[in-house]
Structure 1
């Protein structure tokens, strides 16, 4: 009898232990099944980490050095800045060359018409000038021009000389102006290079937008009108 009772208690204890282990195993399996697994599609649509823009400041570029070079030799500052030097330098020297030719030509014609005016004011024909006479050298140097402008009076010759003198002066001032402008341009360009950084991730974006109208321009359709928004990322 005692053996039967002991066997019965042992059997019930074993069943209880087995049931408890099965319940724990099922619970663990349920918990494992309820844990959300990573979806490959969701992994694919993860937002990409934006690369930080790289800046390239040129802190060694000196605006004062660009100015000094441009003052010493026109175009040297533009060559130092490098930006647009391929067309700026030829343009500078083309302008200076044209002005230089104008200076030489205006001065030459001024001297000629001034001498013709003086010869005309003497009232003597060209063949009457003798060595030692006043303006004799001029009469021999400009003998061809004296005959060419024989029908032109002294007043007209004086006006022509004044015009060439004015052109001569204007040409000199223009040379100084071009020299100064190219120096200022070299300084401004160098200042932009040394003071601003440039991002290597330049972008341009156009998107639709609504533009808010002033109150006096608002209509019954609303105070907003459609438009385009242009965004530059530098």
Structure 2
């Protein structure tokens, strides 16, 4: 129990130190005026209610186009890599399925096949079932990556318009009353 309490307090202290901001103080001679550095305001995109739906529509039409609309060019190769991998495994499993199916058809027609004497008829049936299942999984993975591409474009378009600035702070709070009881808590401050 003491270890958990110690870890909790350590966590609160670490959050507290990371959340406090400090100004750089400059030592100056008397009579010298020093201007404080001007902080640049972060530029946020103005709210556009149609931006998320546009990004999702673009990604649905052509995967990666919604990411390009959002300016996340680095995500486009990831989307195409995932889709290409799913398509590759589908085609490979389809090729293997056709290979074992043709061998099975030849075997039940009493014609020679490429697995004659090495693989039993039951093993040919199991191989067909195995590759059929893998084809279906490959299709599901490819469709899942396609949908994930659309959802990613939509969510990123929403988050690009979310205003995050220093007026929103999260600070731990440690409060002691005059009796000696300690109250722990977190405070969320929103300044205008």
Coarse TM-score class (shorter-chain normalised)? 0.5 to 0.7
| Alpha-carbon shift at residue 71 of structure 1 (Å) | 0.2
CA contact (8 A) 1:206 1:231 kept: yes
After superposition, the C-alpha distances for 1:161-191 in whole angstroms (9 at most, x for unaligned) are 1111111111112111111111011111111
Cα RMSD over matched residues?
Answer: 3.8
Count of matched residue positions in the alignment of Structure 1 and Structure 2? 155
| 1:182 equivalenced with 2:149 (yes/no) | yes
| 1:103 equivalenced with 2:67 (yes/no) | no
Q: Measured at CA, do residues 180 and 117 of structure 1 come closer, stay the same or move farther in structure 2, by a change above 3 Å?
A: same
Between Structure 1 and Structure 2, which shows a larger proportion of helix residues?
A: 1
Cα distance in 2 between the residues matched to 1:111 and 1:172? 17
Q: Hey, what does 2:123 align to over in structure 1?
A: 156
Q: Measured at CA, do residues 74 and 54 of structure 1 come closer, stay the same or move farther in structure 2, by a change above 3 Å?
A: closer
**Aligned pairs (5 A) from 1:1-234:** 56-60=44-48, 62-83=51-72, 85-86=73-74, 88-124=75-111, 126=112, 146-194=113-161, 196-199=162-165, 202=166, 209-211=173-175, 222-224=180-182
| Alpha-carbon shift at residue 77 of structure 1 (Å) | 0.6
Q: Measured at CA, do residues 211 and 175 of structure 1 come closer, stay the same or move farther in structure 2, by a change above 3 Å?
A: farther
Cα distance in 1 between the residues matched to 2:89 and 2:42? 51
Segments of 4+ moved more than 2 angstroms: 53-61, 146-151, 196-199, 202-209, 225-234
TM-score with structure 1 setting the length: 0.54
Cα distance in 2 between the residues matched to 1:185 and 1:174? 16
For structure 2, list consecutive stretches of 5 or more residues without a partner in the other structure. 1-29
